[in-house]
Amino acid sequence: MNNQKDLKRAEGAAVDAARAVGLLMRRHLTLPKRANVATQYDIKLELDVRAQKLIERTLRSAVPNVPVLGEEGTAGKVDAEFRWVVDPIDGTVNFAYGIPHACVSIALQGRAQKRGPTTYEDGYDTLVGVVYDPFCDELWTAVRGGPARLNGRNVRVSDRRNLNEAIVSIGFAKTRETLELTLPYFNQLVRRIRKVRSMGAAALALTYVATGRFDAYIERGIRLWDIAAGGFIIESAGGEFWRKPTGGQYEYRMVASNGLLRKTLRVPD
């Protein structure tokens, strides 16, 4: 699946799956929703599970025998040569409250032939990334070796170098520990930049950086399925996607930027 023809076929399957779930999301945005789990900082919906199953069926019909690693569980052996990494509804809390800022995130990863700066610590590179916002009908795509695209149009990160002109998105993850670690940095950051945004959908924050709407996005305690597609799209758009494992399974702290701001952001360990 490393040749361009196979990757384009995988991209098409991911787009079909994302659009199918997007239709489901639009239909249910204003309807009552059933929560399977609700904690102080997160909600998991019955619809999350249904959406992931729909993605799995759609991907399997086009690209058989590739396992799925997703927020709502796994299907198949996820240490295989190739794997899908899926967040069926990224921004679930927004969606649960009827806020139309959520998306579908799908990435195809393959075992790296040779480790490089974009290789994850478990030896995988992202080969295809698809993020779909069904409420704005915006579809971001990227295939290894090609550009990042929004609805078929090439996009690039911003060229802003000065923090006092930058818009930076920041996320607070899902635990009190990450909240307590992030708040002091937030209080310092907000005084140094033009505006700070916390919008509640990681994959969309990443694609907004790729499109030049945001200049950077920072979060601690974020999971692989939140970042695999969007981080790859940023890299394909000419930006920098820095991340470091936190010790939790598939968990990272990350700084995504236009490639000009990470050092001046001075993100603490």
CATH number of residue 181's parent domain: 3.40.190.80
Give the model's pLDDT for residue 143: 97
DSSP bridge partners of 119:
none
Ordered alpha helix ranges (H), 76-221: 92-96, 176-189, 202-210
Which of 106, 132, 154 represents a domain boundary (last residue)? 154
Q: Read off the pLDDT band of 37 (50, 70, 90).
A: confident
Q: Read off the pLDDT band of 175 (50, 70, 90).
A: confident
Give the model's pLDDT for residue 12: 97
Which is more confident, 168 or 38? 168
Q: Read off the pLDDT band of 268 (50, 70, 90).
A: low
76, pLDDT greater than 80: yes
Q: How far apart are CA 75 and CA 93, in angstroms?
A: 25
147 lies in the same domain as 257: no
CB 8 within 8 A of CB 128: no
123 lies in the same domain as 202: no
From residue 100, give the alpha-carbon distance in Å to each of 26, 68, 200, 212, 245.
9, 26, 11, 21, 30
Stretch 217-242: mean pLDDT: 96
8 lies in the same domain as 68: yes
40, pLDDT greater than 70: no
24 lies in the same domain as 118: yes
Domains in the chain, number = 2
Structural domain of 256: 163-265
Q: How far apart are CA 124 and CA 146, in angstroms?
A: 18
Return the SS3 of 88: strand
19 lies in the same domain as 36: yes
Model confidence pLDDT, tens digit, residues 150-169: 999 999 999 999 999 999 99
Which of 127, 154, 181 represents a domain boundary (last residue)? 154
Stretch 202-218: mean pLDDT: 98
Q: How far apart are CA 156 and CA 258, in angstroms?
A: 9
28 lies in the same domain as 140: yes
Which residues, 6+ apart, have CB-to-CB distance to 200 below 8 Å?
91, 93, 94, 99, 101, 171
First and final C-alpha spacing in the chain: 37
Q: How far apart are CA 240 and CA 172, in angstroms?
A: 21
Give the model's pLDDT for residue 247: 84
Which of 134, 154, 174 represents a domain boundary (last residue)? 154
CB 134 within 8 A of CB 103: yes
Which is more confident, 41 or 179? 179
16 lies in the same domain as 128: yes
Sole residue written with tokens 């915006």: 138
| In the chain, % of residues over pLDDT 70 | 98
Give the model's pLDDT for residue 35: 82
114, pLDDT greater than 90: no
Q: How far apart are CA 135 and CA 102, in angstroms?
A: 8
The region of weakest confidence among 164-173, 177-186, 229-238 is 177-186
141 lies in the same domain as 201: no
Q: How far apart are CA 126 and CA 262, in angstroms?
A: 22
Give the model's pLDDT for residue 177: 83
DSSP string, 27-78: HHTTS---EEEEETTEEEEHHHHHHHHHHHHHHHHHSTT--EEETTEEES-T
Burial state string for 32-57 with b = 16 or more CB within 10 A and e = fewer than 16: ebeeeeeeeeebbbebbbbbbbbbbe
Q: Read off the pLDDT band of 41 (50, 70, 90).
A: low
Give the model's pLDDT for residue 200: 93
